[in-house]
Amino acid sequence: MTASVQPQKEAETGVNGPFANVKGKWAGRWIWAAVIQGAIVTIITVLMIQPLSYFNITPYFNPAMVIAGGGGGTWMFTGYIIYLVVGVVGVAVTAIFYFYLEGVQGKVYHGLSNYIAWGHYVLMNVGVASSMILMIYGGYLAGWSGAAVSSGGLGYTNYQIHVTYLSHFEDPIGGLALVASIGILLGGMGYILRSRTK
């Protein structure tokens, strides 16, 4: 009797194998978010390594010089690393938590927990991506403006860099990081709420 039920279940869900009975959608959403975040980081990586410089084509100031220059330019590298760790790896790992609850324990998100999961999804992804992209861009501008004029920079002092560029990025980055943090807290709340219910 079980054999006759299984093909029907596979036909309904379009899923074969041990995951044919998984009803939750959140793990898949988080995997797709990790893929999109990974694509964004890939574009940033290509811009940072500047592949056209191999052909002596330099359409913008070399990001390697920003990283090597230190100072405000370290914002670029720090933002990049945090984006990789939290925005890509952290988002992918989050999918495992959702899969564990929905797929393994069978506790599908619905009602209040579903709204909390949406808040987690939107706030964390938007907050991390936008704050770290701003941090990368602010660091790039700081490194470029602090580089010597002879190498294509503006030769600004640290004070000029802070007043001209970095001071304008601090509040938006902090606010967006707070948005991401609220999203992460919502995710924890939703996980606890869902895991404690039957």
| Cβ pair 135, 79 in contact under 8 A | yes
Domain borders along the chain are 25-196
What are the tens digits of pLDDT across the range 8-19?
444 444 445 555
pLDDT number for residue 13: 42
Residue indicated by tokens 């602010």: 138
Nearest Cα neighbor of 78 from 121, 20, 136 is 136
pLDDT number for residue 131: 96
What are the tens digits of pLDDT across the range 166-195?
999 999 999 999 999 999 999 999 999 998
| Amino acid, res. 156 | Y
The rounded distance, in Å, linking the Cα atoms of 102 and 95 is 10
C-alpha distances in angstroms, 95 versus 31, 46, 122?
6, 26, 14
pLDDT number for residue 1: 47
pLDDT number for residue 60: 84
DSSP state of 59: S
Quickly state the pLDDT bin for 149 (edges 50, 70, 90). very high
What are the tens digits of pLDDT across the range 124-135?
999 999 999 999
pTM value is: 0.81
Tell me, letter by letter, the H, E, C secondary structure of 90-116.
HHHHHHHHHHHHHHHCCCCCCCHHHHH
The rounded distance, in Å, linking the Cα atoms of 182 and 186 is 6
What are the tens digits of pLDDT across the range 35-90?
999 999 999 988 888 877 778 887 888 887 887 787 888 999 999 999 999 999 99
Nearest Cα neighbor of 120 from 170, 192, 196 is 192
